[in-house]
Amino acid sequence: MSINITMPALSPTMEEGTLAKWHVKEGDSVASGDVIAEIETDKATMEVEAVDEGTIGKILVSEGSEGVKVNAVIAVLLEEGEDAGDIGDVAAKAPEKADKSNSKAEEPANEAKSEAKAAPAKEQQPVEKPKEAASSGERVFSSPLARRLAKEAGIELSAIPGSGPHGRVVKADVEKAKKDGVPSKAAGGPKLAEGMGGDAVRGLYEEDAYETVKLDGMRKTVAARLTEAKQTVPHFYLTMDCQLDALLKAREEINASAPKDKEGKPAYKLSVNDFIVKAWAIALQMVPSANATWAGDSILLHKHSDVAVAVAVPGGLFTPVVRGAELKSLRQISAEVRDFAIRAKSKKLAPHEYQGGSTAVSNLGMYGVKDFAAVINPPHGTIIAIGVGEERVYPDKGEIKIGTFMSVTLSCDHRSVDGALGAELLGVFKQLIEQPVMMLA
């Protein structure tokens, strides 16, 4: 019996990917463990190995195909004695996810029965996108009965607040809208609001006034996660100035003592960012209640400081995680971050290397940015934003002196890290930066 080869889930959050390359063609024999394809996710390119042995009977998804859903059939493998004629009808499309909101427990029983009578199809069909949403570019989740009632009443479906699961518009919402009133379809015009559709935005400009850049998987994921973070995570921000003179001196002395090879190249070269990651990791151990993430029904207090480091790459951002950073030397942190940065730019990081962690460091000081507030990357509880080190005049016991300072801004998830706790954490970090010898104790 032929075997369907499906799009694998290469990470817990993966929903779709790009089939970048086939390493086999129809008629090729494969054994278990053979690499048959390369899959691009939003942040990585991974090889896919054959699980069973046989012959590639049919390839259903061509190279370069984007948006291939997880569990979609991408090829068919023939077992011994089979030929292409044994392959039945195979759909390359992934099965639609079951809509939990169709259960009777989540909607009135009479509505569920009405919908069942209206759609007695034997096979599960994709939910038709409501026409009301198409004109504005927005997707409105609603029940079939709610769509029919809204259409009959001439009510714009996207204007009705949904009370069903995940904001789904149900029959009761439409009846309430009919009673209380909402903007009708005739009151059109694109609305300048969150979630404004692409067609509506493009309609505001002349066609020759812009260039359209197609979104890749990484940019889509970054946009979705940042939108989720700002909408669901209650941020607050704390800023302090840290003096860098002692740290810069220590860095210079450590780098000067690095052994050199025959060509005179030092074995290592620490950056200011390496000291920052180390100081942040130790600070989280000294204030353990702040090494926390929000888990909905609980707060997770982490035993180690798993610090994600923001790495800018063309088209997006990676946040590889330095795990147990408090236990690693400055040299180890430096080598690990450098390796992450190199592999991130070629999308060679494995999912486990950029997922997880409880906090992050985002450093824009090298671009001359004085200070900024970073967006927390869920489920992290904090992120610290690092500004440029610059010379400033400051008073010291009645004297005017010049020193090098940087501004740092801590973003906290108020659900897991309160204001006083965040201030304590930032104060400990400042102390470690200004007295770097404490990191080596």
Q: Where are the domains of the chain?
A: 3-86, 100-209, 220-440
The CATH fold assigned to 220-440 is: Chloramphenicol Acetyltransferase (3.30.559)
Q: How confident is the model at residue 90 (pLDDT cuts 50, 70, 90)?
A: low
- 356 is written with which tokens? 């997880």
Q: How confident is the model at residue 178 (pLDDT cuts 50, 70, 90)?
A: confident
Q: How confident is the model at residue 196 (pLDDT cuts 50, 70, 90)?
A: low
| Euclidean distance between CA atoms 421 and 288, whole angstroms | 10
| CB contact at 8 A, 42 and 217 | yes
Kindly report the CATH number that applies to the domain delimited by 100-209.
Answer: 4.10.320.10
Q: Quote the pLDDT of residue 156.
A: 81
Between residues 56 and 135, the one the model is more confident about: 56
| Average pLDDT of the chain to the nearest whole number | 82
* Global confidence as pTM: 0.63
Closest C-alpha to 162, from 171, 153, 173? 173
Q: Is 414 a catalytic residue?
A: yes
Task: Render pLDDT for 268-327 as a digit per residue (tens, 0 to 9).
Answer: 999 999 999 999 999 999 999 999 999 999 999 999 999 999 998 887 888 999 999 999
| Euclidean distance between CA atoms 390 and 410, whole angstroms | 19
Which is catalytic among the residues 23, 235, 304, 414? 414
Tell me the CA end-to-end span of the chain in Å, nearest whole number.
65
**One fold for both 3-86 and 220-440?**
no
Q: Residues 102-109: what's their mean pLDDT?
A: 40
For the cut 50, the answer to whether the pLDDT of residue 188 exceeds it is no
| Euclidean distance between CA atoms 309 and 328, whole angstroms | 15
The domain 3-86 is classified under which CATH number: 2.60.40.10, 2.40.50.100, 3.40.1260.20, 3.40.50.11540? 2.40.50.100
